[in-house]
Structure 1
Amino acid sequence: MVFQKSVRKFIASAATAAIIASSIVPAASASSNKFSDVPEFYQDAVDYLVSNEIVNGIGDGKFGNDYHIKRADAALMLTRALGYENYRAPDSGFEDVPEYAQNAVNVLKDLGIVSGKSATSFGAHDPLTRSEMAKMIALTFDIPVAGEAHPFQDVNPIYTDYVQALYNAGITNGTGETTYGANDLTTRGQFAIFLSKANQYERNVPDVLVSDLSGTINEDQSVTITGQASEIEKIIVVIPTNESEISIEAEVVNGYFSVTTDMPAANIHTIIVKDEEGNVLYEGIREEAQVKSAAYGQIYFKEGYVKEQF
């Protein structure tokens, strides 16, 4: 069974905002064989991104395959890949971002994917290093840090988890047996390959069934949440809040699990159940007919896809 990846916390103030203007030249649906500078090795990746309207060429029949990609352009492509190019996010505070990429950078900063070079500088016109690329892509697509440690000896500890995530997901093999090319500048062709692989990445999780989640309001006003689970020994119950989220681990005993939280029942609107690797197993929306937090009784959740908006 393949479960949808959890959607990151994202607050959209206007879902109908205008499409971002881009400095990347728009073109009709195209394929890489229309670009004179795309070698065969890169064609599938470039075709994938072009057909999904994530990127186009730079004009004059060229993709700019060997050009170093700017951080602003990388941000724009990632936001398009997420499908968030029409959303608005709080201003990032970065003063060096060109107009065409401002909203994309705002979105990625709001999602916690980028933090910039300083409080007022994103480094928008700087070329993207391969280490920076690994971090941006791993965070954008929620690729977990799992599996064996990567074999690369040139990766700064700050970036090693992100490189390991991409390595075990089959997105990168490095530039050599023990080198990732961590400080090398990323070309547009390389970014196309990484982005196309990540955008098609799907996390396979065990055939776990989580069901029948409900909450009991206790006399002390704490809430005990119970549910059923099969084919798994431990789960994590996540309760989103206005500012962050509460995560509580629980053992599954004879097919049942139980957790207790002091959060007021009135504040519990959604429930997310994950495995230890962060895969979403269940997303529940609180049903309309509810008892109030001041009363004793039950809270029920109906299963459904939850997009967190807290």
Structure 2
Amino acid sequence: MKKFLVLCSSLILFLSTFSFSHKAEAATFSDINGSFAKEYIEALGKEGVITGFPDGTYRPNITIKRSDFAKMLALALELPLNEASAKSFTDVPNWAKPYVGALVDAGITSGKKPGYFGAALPITRQEMIIMFVRAMGLEDYAQLLYLQSEFKDEAKISPTAYPYVSFAEHIGFAEGNPNNEFMPSQPGTRAAAAKWIYFFKIKGDQFFENALYVIGANTVDNIEDVQFVNDDAVKVVYTDGTSETIDVVTFLDDMYMRLQYDQFNYWTGFDWADLSEGEKTEIIQFIVECWQADWSDYKLLAAPEVVVEKVKQRLNNYFINHNNNQDILLEKAIWVAIDERLIQAKNHQ
């Protein structure tokens, strides 16, 4: 829970950083007049987020390197720069280390592999989306939801990037070409990077509000809309016409807990058998905590610690029979808890 509260604090900070200060004249580059991204390039140049080349060009149509994108994103997010955090990468040039280190500190990147950032490589469109979703602080939600992408070439999205791209698509951030193709492995251009960072910066609050709705609607069946009241609270509208105002941290905490609980519908006795006794206890403690939540269909009939111990013992006895290992973990946890009269359905007469 402590880790989650830190995360949510960073989300609220995220909402407050996305604006332009209008502190300087728009940056000019000699080769952007015909670019679709001219407006975005000039605005980001004015903010010092992007710079061109010594000859006064921006070169919008060339691919952007991972090191250059790291600098743009770190500056756009106004992250504290930290050269030391990039020291484990052997391929990052000195000028890029503060920016790469900033992204490492923020949990936005860990490189291509241990010790290697891929600084000189072009960054692909799907790699950029992964970083954007992480920058929003919503990586866990994207992975837990694992939404279906509607892009025609969704089969080409890498397994690692798929939940990030589909999540960004559903919140309106990731867009495809006129043929509705995302082109995930295509290297991003400097123009495309400028456009995405511009919209991420100027419309960050709108994308975040969209994300809250997507998370809520795909977690709770009767949520119709989620709207910001202010930076700290949201109005949740339900399908029956009622609504309530909830703290953003509380809302996200609740959705996260529900999504994690639902994951155990995909666990079986085979997963249970791979766990240590301590891990089993931790999982049952979490399930019991969910049964105590307001949204749960069940209520406890015994002390939580008693429920945990008895459910764990019964599951161990049940799954020791290998013929039972294909059964769903959560279903069996509920079954044994009811059988032991440890829980009861709230609508029980």
CA distance 1:99–1:5, change in 2 (3 Å)? same
CA distance 1:95–1:101, change in 2 (3 Å)? same
Q: Aligned partners of 1:142 and 1:170: how far apart in 2?
A: 17
TM-score computed with the length of structure 1 as normaliser: 0.57
Bigger Cα Rg: 2
Q: Aligned partners of 1:36 and 1:84: how far apart in 2?
A: 29
Q: 1:177 aligns with which of 169, 176, 179?
A: 179
- Superposed, 1:227-246 pairs within 5 Å as 230-231=244-245, 236=253
CA distance 1:177–1:93, change in 2 (3 Å)? same
Q: Aligned partners of 1:69 and 1:179: how far apart in 2?
A: 20
Kindly tell me the number of residue pairs found equivalent between the two proteins. Answer: 212
The aligned counterpart of 1:162 is 164
The CA RMSD over aligned residues, in Å, is 3.9
3-state SS of 2:253 partner: strand
Aligned residues: percent identity? 22
Shift of 1:35: 3.1
Q: Aligned partners of 1:79 and 1:97: how far apart in 2?
A: 15
What per-residue deviation string (whole Å, max 9, x for no partner) do you get for residues 199-221 of structure 1? 2321225368999xxxxxxxxxx
Relative contact order (C-alpha < 8 Å, sep 6+): which is higher? 1
Q: Is the 8 A contact 1:31 1:46 kept in 2?
A: no
The aligned counterpart of 2:46 is 51
Q: Is the 8 A contact 1:130 1:182 kept in 2?
A: yes
Shift of 1:96: 0.7
Q: Aligned partners of 1:117 and 1:207: how far apart in 2?
A: 37
Q: 2:99 aligns with which of 98, 104, 120?
A: 104
Q: Is the 8 A contact 1:68 1:187 kept in 2?
A: yes
Q: Aligned partners of 2:304 and 2:56: how far apart in 1?
A: 59
Shift of 1:30: 4.9
- Superposed, 1:15-30 pairs within 5 Å as 29-30=24-25
Q: Which has the higher helix share?
A: 2
Q: Aligned partners of 1:251 and 1:56: how far apart in 2?
A: 51
Q: Is the 8 A contact 2:62 2:189 kept in 1?
A: yes
Q: Aligned partners of 1:57 and 1:135: how far apart in 2?
A: 25
The aligned counterpart of 2:194 is 192
Shift of 1:231: 4.7
3-state SS of 1:90 partner: helix
- Letter aligned with residue 193 of structure 2: F
Shift of 1:91: 4.2
Unaligned runs of 5+ in 1: 9-27, 212-228, 239-246, 254-259, 263-310
The aligned counterpart of 1:7 is 10
- Letter aligned with residue 157 of structure 1: P
Q: Aligned partners of 1:61 and 1:40: how far apart in 2?
A: 15
Q: 1:201 aligns with which of 196, 201, 204?
A: 204
What per-residue deviation string (whole Å, max 9, x for no partner) do you get for residues 27-83 of structure 1? x94536543234252122112312322112223221121121110111111111121
The aligned counterpart of 1:12 is none
- Superposed, 1:42-121 pairs within 5 Å as 42-87=37-82, 90-121=85-116
Q: Is the 8 A contact 1:208 1:230 kept in 2?
A: no
Q: Aligned partners of 2:50 and 2:67: how far apart in 1?
A: 13
- Superposed, 1:120-159 pairs within 5 Å as 120-142=115-137, 145=142, 149-153=149-153, 154-159=156-161
Q: Is the 8 A contact 1:33 1:43 kept in 2?
A: no
What per-residue deviation string (whole Å, max 9, x for no partner) do you get for residues 221-262 of structure 1? xxxxxxxx9456976279xxxxxxxx9767448xxxxxx999
CA distance 1:149–1:35, change in 2 (3 Å)? same
3-state SS of 1:126 partner: coil
CA distance 1:85–1:67, change in 2 (3 Å)? farther
3-state SS of 2:10 partner: coil
CA distance 1:235–1:56, change in 2 (3 Å)? closer
CA distance 1:165–1:38, change in 2 (3 Å)? farther
Q: Is the 8 A contact 2:84 2:97 kept in 1?
A: no
User: Is 2:26 aligned against 1:31?
Assistant: yes
Shift of 1:122: 0.7
Q: Aligned partners of 1:139 and 1:234: how far apart in 2?
A: 19
Q: Aligned partners of 1:55 and 1:65: how far apart in 2?
A: 11
What per-residue deviation string (whole Å, max 9, x for no partner) do you get for residues 1-43 of structure 1? xxx97417xxxxxxxxxxxxxxxxxxx9453654323425212
CA distance 1:87–1:121, change in 2 (3 Å)? closer
